Every structure is written in C-alpha cells, then in structure tokens.
A and B are shown apart, each in its own frame.
Chain A
Amino acid sequence: MTSLNKSGLLASHGEVLREGVRDGMPIALGYFVVAFTLGIAARNAGLSPLQGFLASFFNNASAGEYAAFTVIAADRPYLEMVLITIVANARYLLMSCVLSQRFAPDASIWHRIFVGFDVTDEIFGISAARPAPLDPYYNYGAMLVALPGWSVGTAVGIAAGNALPAAAVSALSVALYGMFLAIIIPPARVNRVIGAFVALAFLASFAASTLPVLSDLSGGTRTIILTVVLAGIAAVKFPRDD
C-alpha cells in the first residue's frame, strides 16, 4: 500500500518535484556559504553544532536567526526573543499571506503547513514566480536541497569556524550582510520609497548606535524600535494600493 502510494506520488508529482530541486540547487549552494558564516555567529552565542543545525532547520531565516543569536549571546529575556523574531521575520507573514492566495481553495491543510514551514525570501521568490495554482511539490523539491544546505552549513560553520584563521573569519562574517544587501538594494533601486527608507534606516541605525540613550539598548531592541517606527511612518505616508 505504501509503495503503491509512493509510486503513484512520483508518477504524478515527480516532474514538478525535479523542477523544484533544479531551481533550489543554486539557492542551496548560496545558503551553505551564508549559513557557514551564520554558524560563526551561532558559535559566538554559545551554540553547539547540533543546536545550530536544529535552529537552522526549524527557522531557515538569515536575519531572523542572526538577530536571535544576538539575543542569546547577550543573554536577554525570552520575551525579547519573541519580539525580535517577530520583527525580523515579519516579512514571512506577508509572503505566507501571498502564498495563501495562490493555493487552490481545496488544497489540504498539510500542504499549507509544509509549504509554510519553509517560506524564505528565495523559495518564496521562485514559487511566487510560477503560475497559480501553487503546486506544493515544487516547493518540496526546492526545500529538499535548500533546507539541508542551510542547516548543515550552520552546523559546519559552528564546528569549523573555530579552526579558521582570523582573516578568513573576518572576511566570511560579511557574507550575511552581503546577502541582506542583495535583498534590499534591487527593490530600493526600482521603488523610490523603499530606496529612501533604506537610506533613512542606515542613517537612523548609525545615529542610534552613537546617541546617548539609544546606544545603551541592545542591538536587537534598537532594531525593533527603528523598524516599527520607520515602517510605520512609511505605511502612513506612502500607503500601498496593490
């Protein structure tokens, strides 16, 4: 019965699954490198390779995990972990909303849960670019390679980050920021409001790190405050119609 189901599954979904694996491959390679450097941040926060693997398997979020590791490193309250995870991952809420519109109305709850499990910038990007209705097996294909790339990369970063010379650690530690730039700059070029607020965020963040009261707060708290204030202003002044 099980094998029958399996062969039936592969017969009807094998091709789209393979397409997902194909498109997920470059994502997985990029993830591995970036996750390796994320592992360095995780190691500094005191995580073991297993803990890093689990964190990355269940979160698969560069900014979210990085922010979370700074909370762990600073030994901040659990409530701060909740808040910063919400703020750093808020975009996935929107992407999840977008994908919920792409599913066929009769799609099972399990497909919705498993697709939701790995809504990342990149997997959202490739799956939203396909015509509706969303075929969950395409996402599964991409997840099949992207998830191990990300979580194994983090574990290897924690285990091997130690053995690397300072010059290499210094160089690799900007990979994550490079990824952030690759996510925010192209939309900032196309959309003037995003561009202006990205520049404003740079300035405000720099100012907040030097100003008397704000610089006493943890980096995570500053991130939450600045994000909510600036995105709130942007939403009021430049509401979106689409």
Chain B
Amino acid sequence: MTHSIWVYLLVMSAVTLAIRILPLTLIRRQIKSRFIRSFLFYVPYITLAVMTFPDIIHATQTPTSGFLALVVGALMAWFGASLFKVSAFCCVVVFVTERFLIG
C-alpha cells in the first residue's frame, strides 16, 4: 500500500461533492448541448451494467449462485419489485443455492 486511504477518501469526497453541488449552484439554465445531455442520460445505466456483470458471478463462493442471483434479480426488477426486495432476494438466492451446492 503506497497510497494513503485518507487521501483517497479526500479525493473521492471532493470529486463526488463537486459533481453534486456545482451544477446546482452554478447552472440555472438547461444544458444546451444535445450530445452532452444524451451522454449523461445514458451513462448511469451503462456504467452500472458494466459493474454488475460479470463481477456478480465472481463475488460469490460459486459462479452458479451469483449467476442465479443475477437472473432472479433482473426478473424481479423487470416486474417492478422495489430496490429493497430485489437486493434482499438476490442474497436469499445465493444463500439457498450455496446450501445445495456446497452443503
């Protein structure tokens, strides 16, 4: 570990707060650039998708349980389950699956 955790925390907090606060305090009009508006619109979905797969199958003790959690979570979200329910059921799926797979 050559970097300081405290400096990491300072850097991430400063960047996050700037992102959240600067537009609110500086911009009082709509952003005009259609490209930037569109780009910012798509970023969250794409970046979360990239971070979810294949990481979810490496996070668990077996790839199978992680993959099943992905499928069940996606189906529940598709049919409108709340953030809390989707999140909780993904955990249950992994726990139950691994009981059978690992014992």
Task: With a 10 A CB-CB cut-off, give which of B38, B81, B88 has the most chain A CB atoms.
Answer: B38
Is B80 a contact partner of A96 (Cβ separation < 8 A)?
Answer: no
Residues of chain B within 8 A of A219, CB atoms compared: 55
Chain B residues with a Cβ closer than 8 Å to the other chain, count: 78
B interface: dominant SS: helix
- Option from B35, B47, B70 in Cβ contact (under 8 Å) with A177: B70
- Contacts known (A72-B8, A202-B53, A234-B38); A182 close to B77, Cβ less than 8 A: yes
Is A170 a contact partner of B49 (Cβ separation < 8 A)?
Answer: no
Residues of chain B within 8 A of A30, CB atoms compared: 82-84, 87
Cβ of A128 within 8 Å of any chain B Cβ, yes or no, is no
- Contacts known (A86-B15, A171-B92); A231 close to B28, Cβ less than 8 A: no
- Contacts known (A180-B48, A181-B74, A198-B46); A186 close to B24, Cβ less than 8 A: no
Is B77 a contact partner of A87 (Cβ separation < 8 A)?
Answer: no
Is A178 a contact partner of B21 (Cβ separation < 8 A)?
Answer: no
Is B46 a contact partner of A201 (Cβ separation < 8 A)?
Answer: yes
Is B83 a contact partner of A231 (Cβ separation < 8 A)?
Answer: no
Cβ of A179 within 8 Å of any chain B Cβ, yes or no, is yes
Is A68 a contact partner of B48 (Cβ separation < 8 A)?
Answer: no
Residues of chain A within 8 A of B83, CB atoms compared: 30, 122, 179, 182-183
- Contacts known (A75-B1, A177-B69); A231 close to B39, Cβ less than 8 A: yes
- Contacts known (A82-B11, A178-B69, A183-B44); A112 close to B84, Cβ less than 8 A: no
- Option from A51, A100, A240 in Cβ contact (under 8 Å) with B9: A51
Is B87 a contact partner of A175 (Cβ separation < 8 A)?
Answer: yes
Cβ of A168 within 8 Å of any chain B Cβ, yes or no, is yes
Of the A-B pairs whose beta carbons lie under 8 Å apart in the complex, a sample of 13, sorted by A's number, is: A90-B44, A117-B20, A174-B90, A175-B91, A178-B69, A178-B87, A178-B88, A182-B83, A183-B48, A194-B42, A201-B45, A230-B42, A240-B37
